[in-house]
Amino acid sequence: MWKNKNVWILLIGEFIAGLGLWLGIIGNLEFMQEKVPSDFLKSLILGSGLLAGLAVGPLAGKWTDQVRKKKVMLISGFTRALSVIFMLIAIETGSVLWMIVFLVSIQVSAAFYFPALQAAIPMVVKEKDLLQMNGVHMNVATLSRILGTALAGILLVLISLSMLYVLSLAAYIALFILTWFLSIDEDAASPAVKGQKAKGTSFKEVFPIIKGLPIVMMTLIMTLVPLLFIGGFNLMVINISELQDSSAIKGWIYTAEGIAFMTGAFFVKRLGEMMSPYRILFFFSFVIGVSQLLLYFADNPVMSVVSFAVFGFAVGCFFPTAATIFQTRMPKEFHGRFFSFRNMLDRLIFQVVLLITGLLLDLVGLQIMTVLFGCASLIMTGLFYSKYRQLKHTVLAEQAS
């Protein structure tokens, strides 16, 4: 796998793009802090981009299955670089409206880019290397998040906000150039790119396929377990900081979670050699539930850091495994539409969980909320594990007969 130039292009591209993304995110927060006094208005502004991404999701999935993956990645990469110019105009004019244009355009381009990227990964590595590739890819994204946020914090003291976005633009241009050097044999991988009608082209046609693959459906719903934690991640960290009356705990939590995630994503390859991906999925879904329950002791600095570290390690194993199941069990001609649908679903669940987290924090407080989330995660894991065992016995019975 490591001798494959496409692997290195994708990984280096992810790292560079991640740096650009997080420089931009920190820049967004800085700009809104100066121009938008209302927290509710800030959430509406950020939500405008997410809604735009949701709206174009079906079209993005359809195009990804009909057009070459590399072409989709190049066009969306160019659009993402172009969108930064709108933010530079926003800074120059002090206009929040131009910032909304920036958020909408960058989220629309992301809605096309990420399904194409997920569909391209199985085309550049062998199936036996998919779990390792997904783990490393997510590690690179996590590393770019850690370094990107740290770098942005330092740079905001040294340079202007406009220059921060210029660096973000440079990162996106570098990603665009790198993508040119990808060489994917898409003709062999999918009949759709030869101009044939690959089992239809409607976005809706992906739903019967998902329904007909119970393992894929189950894995898709099980991603709700980590999203219960991730959706309110920042709100919980802020609450823990207030609960302990400590600003430093935020840094410890983010660092512990990031390092643990990277460790888990490297470790999952070895786990994959010892047990099936489904067992990995169920086991770490259970661990995620336990990590949520541990936050009942969030007033203790050590326990709060341990909880986020356990969660980080668990999702570091969970997400690469889920991605591998999707890439291997879904027919390749539906990958674009499927990953676009999954991206839409994640965005929608993220927003719902964020609202529920905010509401529960006000009503019952952090400790009771995390117990409720933890119990919900454990119950969901138990139900789906029981369903998985039933499916397994049914398949074995059919094979025996």
Domains of the chain: 1-182 (1.20.1250.20), 203-401 (1.20.1250.20)
Helices (H), 330-401: 335-363, 366-400
- pLDDT tens digits for range 113-151: 887 887 787 787 787 777 777 777 777 877 777 777 677
- pLDDT tens digits for range 256-283: 888 898 888 888 878 877 888 888 889 9
DSSP annotation string for 78-92: HHHHHHHHHHHHHHH
For the chain, percent of residues with pLDDT exceeding 70: 89
Does residue 287 register a pLDDT over 90? yes
For residue 194, what pLDDT is reported?
A: 45
For residue 42, what pLDDT is reported?
A: 67
> What's the pLDDT band for 188 if we cut at 50, 70, 90?
low
For 48, residues 6+ apart whose C-beta sits below 8 A from its C-beta are 100, 103, 104
Which residue matches tokens 């995630």?
A: 261
Does residue 390 register a pLDDT over 90? no
For residue 294, what pLDDT is reported?
A: 93
Closest residue by Cα to residue 338 from 54, 109, 62? 62
Mean pLDDT of the chain: 80
**What tokens were used for 395?**
């398949």
- pLDDT tens digits for range 61-73: 777 777 788 888 8
CA–CA separation, 25 vs 15, rounded Å? 15
For the chain, percent of residues with pLDDT exceeding 90: 12
Length of the chain: 401
For residue 191, what pLDDT is reported?
A: 46
> What's the pLDDT band for 199 if we cut at 50, 70, 90?
very low
More confident residue, 39 or 332: 332
Does residue 244 register a pLDDT over 90? no
> In whole angstroms, how large is the CA radius of gyration of the chain?
21
pTM of the model: 0.70
Closest residue by Cα to residue 175 from 18, 19, 16? 16
- Does an H or E element contain 207, and which? helix 206-211
Does residue 345 register a pLDDT over 70? yes
- CB count in 10 Å sphere of residue 192: 22
* Phi/psi at 231 (5° precision): -55, -40
CA–CA separation, 120 vs 293, rounded Å? 37
Does residue 192 register a pLDDT over 50? no
- How far from the centroid of its chain's Cα atoms is residue 304's Cα? 23
Helices (H), 275-334: 277-294, 301-329
For 25, residues 6+ apart whose C-beta sits below 8 A from its C-beta are 148, 149, 152
Closest residue by Cα to residue 350 from 229, 262, 255, 172? 229
CA–CA separation, 367 vs 236, rounded Å? 10
- pLDDT tens digits for range 76-118: 889 888 999 998 998 888 888 898 898 889 888 888 888 788 7
CA–CA separation, 80 vs 175, rounded Å? 10
CA–CA separation, 323 vs 313, rounded Å? 16
> What's the pLDDT band for 320 if we cut at 50, 70, 90?
confident
